[in-house]
Amino acid sequence: MREITYRQALNEALAEEIERDPNVFLMGEEVAEYNGAYKVSQGLLDRFGAERIIDTPISENGFAGLGIGAAMVGLRPVVEFMTFSFSLVAFDQIVNNAPNMLTMSGGQFNIPITFRGPNGPAHQLGATHSHATECLFANVPGLKICTPATPRDAKGLLKTAVRDNNPVLVLECELFYSHKGMVDDEGVDLLIPLGEAEIKRAGSDVTIICYAQTVPMALAAAETLAGEKINAEVLDLRSIKPLDLPAILRSVAKTHRVVIAEQDRPFCGVGAEISYRIQKEIFDELDAPIMRVAQEDVPMPYNERLEQAVLPNAEKIVAAAKKIC
Amino acid sequence: MPAPEQRDEVEMLATMLLIRRFEERASQQYQAQKIGGFCHLYIGQEAVVTGAVAATRPDDYLITAYRDHAHALARGTSADACMAELFGKATGCSRGLGGSMHYFDKANHMYGGHAIVGAHVPLAAGMAFAAKYRKEDRVTLCFFGDGAINQGGFHEALNLAGLFKLPVIFICENNFFAMGTSVKRSTSLEHIVDRAEGYDMRGEIVDGMNFREVRDKLSEIIASIRKDPHPAFVEARTYRYRGHSMSDPASYRTKEELEKYRLDDPITRLRAQLTREGKLTNEQFDKMDKRAKEEAMASVKFAEESPEPPLDELYDYTYANGVEAGVSPAKKTASGKKA
Ligand SMILES: Cc1ncc(C[n+]2csc(CCOP(=O)(O)OP(=O)(O)O)c2C)c(N)n1
């Protein structure tokens, strides 16, 4: 193991997969000559050349569709969105073409494509640039969605996504690109299965279910709660779809209390589905109502104080946990 | 041949100076972390929007992308309201809720400030559609960058405008780069203006560093549109002196290229033209520049001293209140008053 950044972990994953399989290529805005808007693809153009690291015009709908078409005839594209807020321009391709093709063709065409890039609010980018898209895409059968929160998960999940035979969305966090963490040595073929949650902190009194940006918040909240004699378990989903329901149920059966900390909006958000599943499967294990901490249900304001009021944070998670503990 | 509705040149030069000085201050304040999010400066391109605005009436519609400070200032939004928006204050032109990329000013017919590349181009078609629908002779000015011309929405909007003969001028501010991607690397055509031909639309290239050229070409097109509505396309060749945004070192272009354009500075050029013609003295220019600097400086103070939007307004602008009275009789509580 060695310590690298989240950005570097993604970069290694891309490099390893492009190296391994000649059908894999990277396409997107500013990925090649500029080395990526957030420098995730740093050095890849030099290493693999312009045939495999490809700059596009600002045409999200076009290049997302191009990727799907290329996947229909055997390539395995990795398509970068500068942010997932811009993937909305390509919504038709991601929602209508990629996940429906296998069913519509009676099983003839699977679409092995990876869509990746930062997702979720960053800092004061305003309403158009702050979308947490996971709940939009999670509603679509045929898409898989993972949400790495650590460098190790970023590398392992992206590599798996590229090898999956379905359309997979790797929703990264812009604010994490410079975060450091321990990752297996180079040369280890690090593959983390989609649909496998991980306990990031073991506990006994309440389960905080989280993913992506809410993972560090949940860990910070758990520390605070520990000071108040509440021992929280932090369960990082890592994938939204498939959802690791067994891991969720195991944890809840142990703690009997749940706070779901999500970075999306509350209405029809990821936490809504998870709470439904928990109460349906193990209602009797619950000692308190399931709590959810999500964004406020408003377009993102630019003003910093209002933005902070909209976003989930550790204090809100602590408050939610204390209400039920 | 200045049309009767053209604005005074000296006044427009003062506007160019205000834009330049305002953005220099904004840049400083961004570095001092008084401004958050993304911030894209227009410095170098001032002749495009001021030239266009000089050719329009104040009630013509204007809409643009996220590099929008100049468009608001040119339309008459105060430097105070513009700076306060960058500071996220309640006195900002979008109440501090929009930020640099989302300036709006209804009173001055400035319809945004749009940060998804290409997404506002269909809106411009819609505004022009409404003008024609109501049989008004208003023209819609739609500004966008060279990076926007490869979005589907752009093409759909141009086709709709061509098909419905909408009174809209699509103004491509071609500064040759979309972030780090040069037009050569993004666009299958050699000349952007040729996009117009595919939609049966008049297309013109203008020197976007030359205020008078922009204004006169726009005046001519606008006169024609007011007589009989139709769309038009203008490619204004210009240059941004700064990086794409505050965080971009712009290492994809050469110093020499930048210097070449700086020598062709739009402010210097208009000043020289006016001075040569005896319409402006050096003292007058210096006074104007001083005033612009003071206004920009004062806007920082205004922004600093302005209040933040209150927390309890968080939900006030998610939905509009009330229903249209003519459609369904409104109850008193739902008649536009805040609940
Ligand atoms: C749909 C979409 N894709 C990508 C971006 C990110 N982005 C913001 S500005 C920009 C470049 C646009 O360049 P251009 O249209 O030429 O305008 P300029 O910056 O030169 O004013 C890009 C890629 C975005 N805002 N929206």
pLDDT at B7: 86
State whether residue A62 sits within 8 Å of chain B by CB.
yes
Of A85, A128, A304, the CB nearest to B88: A304
- For an interface test with A, give the residue of B150, B252, B316 to mutate (most A CBs within 10 A): B150
Distances (CA, A) of A304 to A243, B67, B99, B246: 33, 21, 10, 18
Name the DSSP class of A108: S
Classify the C-alpha dihedral B329-B332-B337-B339 as positive or negative. negative
Within a domain: residue A261? yes
Tell me if A249 is assigned to some domain: yes
State residue B322's pLDDT score: 80
* Closest listed residue to residue A155, CA positions, set A268, A321, A40: A40
Nearest CA to ligand 1 atom 21: B145
Same domain, A233 and A151: no
CA–CA dist B64, B144 (Å, integer): 6
Q: For position B332, what pLDDT does the model report?
A: 47
Catalytic residue among A129, A179, A273, A285: A129
Considering the domain boundaries, does residue A189 fall inside one? no
CB of residue B49 inside a 6 A radius of ligand 1: no
What is the pLDDT at residue B336? 44
Q: Which neighbouring-strand residues pair with A27? A: A54, A79
State the CATH number of the domain containing residue A161: 3.40.50.970
CB atoms within 10 A of CB B66: 25
Report the predicted TM-score, pTM, of the whole model to 2 decimal places.
0.95
Asked if residue A210 and residue A279 are part of one domain, the reply reads yes
Residue A36 lies in a domain: yes
Please tell me whether residues A298 and A226 are part of one structural domain.
yes
What is the reported pLDDT for B328?
A: 54
Q: Report the largest interatomic distance among the alpha carbons of chain A, rounded to a whole angstrom.
A: 58
Residue B179 is given by DSSP the state T
List, for chain B, all residue ranges whose pLDDT scores fall below the cut of 70.
Answer: 1-5, 325-339
Instruction: Say if residue A46 is in the same domain as residue A149.
Output: yes
Catalytic residue among A16, A60, A134, A174: A60
CA A275 to chain CA centroid, Å, is 19
Domain coverage including residue A94: 2-183
Q: Which candidate from B119, B179, B311 shows the least CB-CB separation from A30?
A: B179
CA distance A304 to B208: 36
A34 & A146 share domain: yes
Q: Which two tokens stand for residue A40?
A: 């995730």
Residue A179 bears catalytic tag: no
Instruction: Establish whether A307 is a catalytic residue.
Output: no
Specify whether A10 is located in the same domain as A112. Answer: yes
Number of domains in chain A: 2
Per the CB < 8 Å rule, is A58 touching B147?
Answer: yes
Whether residue A211 is contained in a domain is answered as: yes
In chain B, what are the domains? 9-308 (3.40.50.970)
CB neighbour list of residue B215: distance below 8 Å, 6 or more residues apart: B6, B12, B51, B52, B54, B55
CATH number of A287's domain: 3.40.50.920
Residues A178 and A46 in one domain: yes
Integer angstrom CA distances of residue A281 from A253, A271, B86, B141: 10, 15, 49, 58
Q: Evaluate whether residue A193 is within a structural domain.
A: no
- Would A190 be classed as within a structural domain? no
A175 shares contact with chain B (CB less than 8 Å): no
A253 within some domain: yes
B241 shares contact with chain A (CB less than 8 Å): no
Say yes or no: A297 contacts chain B, CB-CB below 8 A: yes
Outline where chain A has alpha helix (H): 6-20, 44-48, 60-72, 91, 101-104, 134-138, 151-163, 214-227, 245-255, 270-282, 304-310, 314-324
| Beta-carbon contacts of residue A73 (< 8 Å; ≥ 6 apart) | none
pLDDT at B324: 74
- The one-digit pLDDT tens for each residue of chain A (325 residues) are 999 999 999 999 999 999 999 999 999 999 999 999 999 999 999 999 999 999 999 999 999 999 999 999 999 999 999 999 999 999 999 999 999 999 999 999 999 999 999 999 999 999 999 999 999 999 999 999 999 999 999 999 999 999 999 999 999 999 999 999 999 999 899 999 999 999 999 999 999 999 999 999 999 999 999 999 999 999 999 999 999 999 999 999 999 999 999 999 999 999 999 999 999 999 999 999 999 999 999 999 999 999 999 999 999 999 999 999 9
